[in-house]
Amino acid sequence: MKLRTLTASLALAAGLGIAPASQALDLGNLAGGLVNLAKAATLSDDDAKTLAFDAAQHMDGQNKIAPPNNPYAKRLARIVKGLDQEDGLALNYKVYLTKEVNAFAMANGTVRVYAGLLDAMTDDEVRFVIGHEVGHVKLGHSKKAMQVAYTASGVRGLAAASGNQAVAQLSASAIGGFAEALVNAQFSQSQENEADTYSVGFMKRHNYPPAAAVSALRKLQALGDGASILSSHPASSERATKVESEIAKL
């Protein structure tokens, strides 16, 4: 059985301190299903993709998605033309019709861009943001967040007491908690820099102007609290400076 577990969802949410208490795990509903600690601490790529699939389905159900004939959807389709695959990962795109300045990518290739980000940025700046989000996936940052959160949670005590890998299926509320935690997972400064560098390479590989990386980061700084993406990807002047250095190397 793949690791589509209520305990993994709780672990990520609890470990990152994101999900509200109403979305936490009710141990009474677990029906005796326990996750093997070693299994959860070494999530396979397939496990991560399965969890991401559930999380993406939840997020899509919670947000208004731009239909294909919508101006936002048409613009994103133009922006990502030719970007169906990246570094072996098949990507699928949708626009959320919300004024939040945000975007995220998941391990199964889900890429979601908020209308507010499209309003705030040029096409090439949006491409940099997409490359950055995909970078977190391809560099293993998202999977590491799952692993760290699990091993830091109290669930490990339960798992250690049993070799049983059978687990309860994710409930709707648990999927919601997991999805919110995943979308809002905060990365370290070094991970942000690595994802920036990845995206500079992404821009170069696809013949987009790398300078858009710098303008995108400067724009996020200027937006400040108006950019929801900053809650999970803190901006800093140092990031923009480092990106300028990476571009100079090219």
Residues labelled catalytic: 133
- Cα gap 44→67, rounded to integer Å: 34
CB distance 25 to 35 below 8 Å: no
- Cα gap 103→119, rounded to integer Å: 13
Give φ, ψ of 196 to 5 degrees.
Answer: -60, -45
Closest CA to 174 of 2, 37, 4, 1: 4
- Cα gap 176→55, rounded to integer Å: 7
Distances (CA, A) of 118 to 5, 86, 107, 126, 141: 34, 21, 23, 7, 25
